[in-house]
Amino acid sequence: MLYDWYSIKNDSVFLKVKGKKKKIRINANEVIGYYSLDKNRFYYLKKVKEDSLSKAKYGFYFRELEGEIKIYVDHHSSSDEMLNGTTGTITANISSVYTWFAENEDNFVEIFSNGRVIRFGRRKGKENFKSLFTKDDKVYDSIFEEERYNLKNIFKVVSDYNLKHHIDSPFENGKVKKLILFRDKENSNASKVLIEFRNKELQLGPNEKVELEIPTNSDTKVCLTFEDKYECFLLRSSPYFDKCYEVKPTKADDIRIQNKNSNSRYLKVRFRNFDKKKSKKSE
């Protein structure tokens, strides 16, 4: 349903539905999340454990990483007011605060933040992070003993753990949707990216897109090869919209994928041009 606004209070979600005068109340445990058309993203409603760093019981979070351990992010603005003693004026310093959460089954905890809370909660964030690795309690050792506890290393350790313990689930009827991978012209050479998933192979060149039919209710291991670079990712399609990722081979020793909004005017135009180019080749 389309809504004008929502609010969360205790264990209830209140919606002001478009065209309706009265707001409606829904039990929070009955809500999966909401889809943002503008951002082409799905935000999941999650309950943070009482001993988490976050004070909120419920919140909507965007999922950044799939797998046995999932990573979510919350973004909000923070402002600090400063009084100028000479002029008597107050200025506001507005900054973006990102907080990352991770989930393994029913364990949903805060693990990292770029806000002030990290000064007081880094140790607790590490403890929360450790609690997620139920199958291998040694996989995270390097992040504490050899490397700094930062966001890049958190994602790397979780990705390695997820890939190590992943097995593709079989397809289920009616639970398969498309996921779009594309390459733009910037920073691209003529070499193609080889895409391997579920015993299938596709090739992706510059200014091209491909559509993968993969499950919505389980993760699929997708491996990309570009020249001498090789990277694997766990991806999942959405039953609500077409997920879209840009494939970006870098000059370093990795291949990156970046979530993109396929509803943006820029990508709609680019995809139409990709399709026209493909049609001309097939004639």
Q: Where are the domains of the chain?
A: 48-164, 176-282
Query: 166 in helix, strand or coil?
Result: coil
State residue 142's pLDDT score.
Answer: 67
Query: pTM value?
Result: 0.83
pLDDT of residue 189: 65
Q: In angstroms, how far is CA 165 from the centroid of its own chain?
A: 20
- Per-10-residue mean pLDDT, the chain, length 283: 72 79 84 86 84 66 95 73 43 68 91 64 78 76 68 90 91 85 76 94 93 94 93 93 89 82 90 80 60
State the Cα–Cα distance between residues 130 and 209, nearest whole angstrom: 38
pLDDT of 253? 64
pLDDT at site 188: 57
What does the pLDDT read at residue 5? 67
Look at residue 221 in the predicted model and tell me its pLDDT: 96
Output the CATH code of domain 176-282: 2.60.40
Would the CA dihedral through 155, 243, 163, 63 be positive or negative?
positive
